[in-house]
């Protein structure tokens, strides 16, 4: 689409951190665009520039052709408030777009995305695109509450001054009755030294005839209360309120509160930005645990270009962007991958933990990124999950730090000696790390320990979820 190149900033132009929202994009030109260029004698450089300008136009005030620009046309303001493409990297086909924030309703994520991401993946001249990052100016960050509890608030209500949190999601992911899930909670909370903190619903466990939400909520929280009394340690249950009807989610959240719960779990991608924003702004008094089910259809791209250089074949938005959006919207913890789990060839998990927890986030040296100032927005727990087992804890804690929830399903419930030994293996792995003792040394000396049996079964490094 030929547009006036006034959607292209002059070389060397820089966005204002105060008045612009900035996106970082990689874009591949389609065969149609390349062919057209060859046919019209245009250089590929020129076509790339046009493509960047088209993205800026299409995602702000422009369209594919000149339109009526007389009185009442809106053109003068459109020209003033237009986005511009800048910092073009002709080799890797990367570029940035700067949007004046007057283009957006400051506290409206859905509206923002309809602008900056809305139509651009549909452009004929583009054959692949990835939104690597978005950087929000202070005025927009200030429009959001961010997490109500965050890392410190959760530590406070759990009475857990330091160290990571351990949780398990029942596997099979669906199959237990509410009563059976409650009995599993009893095993998790009582095994070993009683220090295992959490149980979580799986992302697709909602309200099923054999595992009704209200019965599961009541029975598992009863086990939590029982365990807290016996162990004098606080526990948590990430109880999944997910539903496409907000009223039902609020009813479920209130039932969690009635049972003395401290967390609700929400599948934030399938319920959407509006649901998460509304749940946070209702201030229901519960920490929000965000599961990212379905994110793979947004964040995944198997082509070489996903690392910034090389050809990009798909259309995607990075987990870095998703993590930023949900931290802004106010979740207290979110699944962010793990340095060892599925999709880790992106090498993003460590940076995602920084996106979630640093106040003055710098761009990453390897991942195309923009950094972010977070102002009042609290740090968020990073949940590391996906094929993890006690043999992984040492590396994960070294790389991600201790403000994380390590979530093991099969890695605890699949222990060769059973569930409670699986919990004990996890407790041993955490305590070895906290005492600076190498797992390999321990396993060699204590070859009959539950941890040694777990390592004997799974070694070190995650089991890739097939
Ligand atoms: C992980 C997951 C899976 C895990 C846990 C979860 O999601 O959906 O159930 O793989 O099972 O609910 O934690 P993320 P296991 O990858 O988005 O964290 O430990 O058996 O892999
Ligand atoms: Mg799951």
pLDDT digits (tens, 9 = 90+) for 379-404: 999 999 988 999 999 999 999 999 99
Most informative mutation of 265, 269, 385 for ligand 1 (most atoms within 8 A of CB): 385
Q: Which of 142, 162, 190 is the last residue of a domain?
A: 142
Question: Do residues 64 and 112 share a domain?
Answer: yes
Q: Which of 124, 142, 160 is the last residue of a domain?
A: 142
Q: Six-digit token pair at 33?
A: 């665009």
316 within some domain: no
- Among 2, 97, 92, residue whose Cα is nearest residue 47: 2
Residue 291 annotated in active site: yes
Q: How many CA atoms lie within 13 A of 132 on its CB side?
A: 26
158 within some domain: yes
pLDDT digits (tens, 9 = 90+) for 273-304: 999 999 999 999 999 999 999 999 999 998 99
- Among 66, 75, 55, 74, residue whose Cα is nearest residue 119: 55
How far is 369 from 372, CA to CA, in rounded Å?
A: 9
Give the nearest ligand 1 atom to 462 CA: 21
Q: At a CB cut-off of 8 Å and minimum separation 6, what does 261 contact?
A: 217, 221, 224, 237, 239, 286
314 within some domain: no
Q: Residue 460 C-alpha to ligand 1 middle, in angstroms?
A: 18
Question: Do residues 76 and 162 share a domain?
Answer: no
Most informative mutation of 166, 167, 169, 202 for ligand 1 (most atoms within 8 A of CB): 169
DSSP annotation of 7 reads G
Q: What is the CATH number for 137?
A: 3.30.70.150
Q: Which of 84, 113, 142 is the last residue of a domain?
A: 142
How far is 295 from 268, CA to CA, in rounded Å?
A: 9
Q: What SS3 class is residue 465?
A: coil
Give the nearest ligand 1 atom to 389 CA: 19
| Structural domain of 129 | 5-142
pLDDT digits (tens, 9 = 90+) for 311-362: 999 999 999 999 999 999 999 999 999 886 655 556 799 999 999 999 999 9
336 within some domain: yes
Q: Residue 165 C-alpha to ligand 1 middle, in angstroms?
A: 15
Residue 171 annotated in active site: yes
Proximal ligand: closest to the CA of 295: 1
In the chain, the number of structural domains is 2
463 within some domain: no
Residue 233 near residue 194 (C-beta atoms within 8 A) = yes
DSSP annotation of 199 reads E
Question: Do residues 75 and 212 share a domain?
Answer: no
Q: What SS3 class is residue 26?
A: strand
The one catalytic residue in 82, 291, 335, 378 is 291
Burial of residue 345, with CB atoms counted within 10 A of its CB: 0-12 exposed, 13-18 middle, 19 or more buried:
exposed
Q: At a CB cut-off of 8 Å and minimum separation 6, what does 241 contact?
A: 213, 248, 249, 252, 253, 256, 264, 265, 266
Edge-to-edge strand list for the sheet holding 94-100: 84-89, 94-100, 20-29, 126-135, 315-317
299 lines ligand 1 (CB under 6 A): no
Q: How many CA atoms lie within 13 A of 341 on its CB side?
A: 21
Q: Residue 253 C-alpha to ligand 1 middle, in angstroms?
A: 22
- Among 211, 254, 218, 250, residue whose Cα is nearest residue 237: 218
37 within some domain: yes
Give the nearest ligand 1 atom to 337 CA: 18
309 within some domain: no
307 within some domain: no
Question: Do residues 138 and 216 share a domain?
Answer: no
pLDDT digits (tens, 9 = 90+) for 214-258: 999 999 999 999 999 999 999 999 999 999 999 999 999 999 999
pLDDT score of 124: 87
pLDDT digits (tens, 9 = 90+) for 27-76: 999 999 999 888 999 999 999 999 999 999 999 999 878 888 889 999 99
């Amino acid at each position: 689409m030929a547009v006036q190149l006034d959607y292209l900033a002059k070389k060397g132009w820089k966005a204002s951190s105060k008045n612009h929202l900035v996106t970082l994009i990689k874009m591949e030109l389609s065969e149609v665009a390349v062919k057209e260029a060859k046919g019209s004698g245009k250089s590929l450089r020129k076509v790339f520039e046009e493509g960047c300008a088209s993205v800026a136009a299409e995602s702000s005030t422009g369209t594919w052709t000149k339109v009526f620009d007389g009185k009442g046309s809106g053109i003068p303001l459109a020209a003033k408030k237009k986005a511009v493409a800048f910092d073009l990297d002709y080799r890797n086909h990367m570029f940035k777009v700067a949007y004046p924030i007057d283009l957006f309703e400051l506290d409206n994520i859905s509206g923002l995305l309809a602008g900056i991401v809305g139509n651009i993946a549909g452009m004929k001249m583009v054959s692949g695109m990835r939104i690597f990052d978005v950087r929000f100016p202070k005025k927009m960050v200030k429009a959001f509450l961010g997490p109500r509890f965050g890392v410190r608030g959760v530590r406070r209500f759990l009475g857990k001054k330091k160290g990571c949190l351990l949780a398990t999601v029942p596997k099979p992911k669906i199959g237990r009755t509410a009563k059976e899930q409650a009995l599993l909670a009893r095993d998790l909370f009582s095994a070993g030294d009683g220090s295992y903190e959490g149980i979580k619903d799986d992302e697709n466990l909602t309200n099923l005839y054999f595992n009704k939400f209200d019965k599961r909520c009541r029975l598992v929280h009863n086990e939590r209360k029982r365990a807290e009394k016996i162990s004098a340690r606080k526990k948590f249950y990430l109880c999944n309120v997910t539903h496409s009807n907000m009223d039902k989610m609020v009813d479920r959240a209130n039932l969690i509160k009635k049972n003395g719960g401290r967390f609700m779990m929400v599948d934030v991608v399938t319920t959407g930005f509006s649901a998460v924003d509304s749940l946070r702004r209702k201030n229901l008094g519960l920490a929000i645990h965000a599961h990212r089910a379905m994110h793979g259809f947004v964040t995944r791209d198997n082509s070489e270009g996903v690392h910034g250089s090389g050809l990009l074949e798909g259309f995607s938005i990075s987990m870095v962007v998703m993590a930023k959006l949900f931290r802004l919207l106010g979740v207290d913890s979110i699944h962010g991958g793990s340095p060892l789990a599925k999709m880790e060839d992106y090498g993003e998990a460590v940076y995602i933990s920084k996106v979630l927890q640093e106040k003055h986030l710098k761009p990453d040296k390897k991942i195309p990124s923009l950094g972010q100032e977070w102002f009042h927005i609290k740090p968020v727990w990073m949940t590391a999950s996906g094929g993890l087992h006690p043999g992984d804890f040492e590396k994960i804690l070294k790389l991600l730090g201790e403000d994380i929830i390590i979530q093991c399903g099969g890695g605890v419930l699949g222990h060769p000696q059973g569930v409670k030994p699986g919990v004990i293996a996890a407790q041993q792995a955490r305590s070895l790390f906290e005492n600076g003792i190498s797992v390999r040394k321990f396993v060699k000396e204590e070859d009959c320990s539950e941890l040694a049996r777990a390592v004997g079964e799974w070694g070190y490094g995650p089991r890739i979820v097939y």
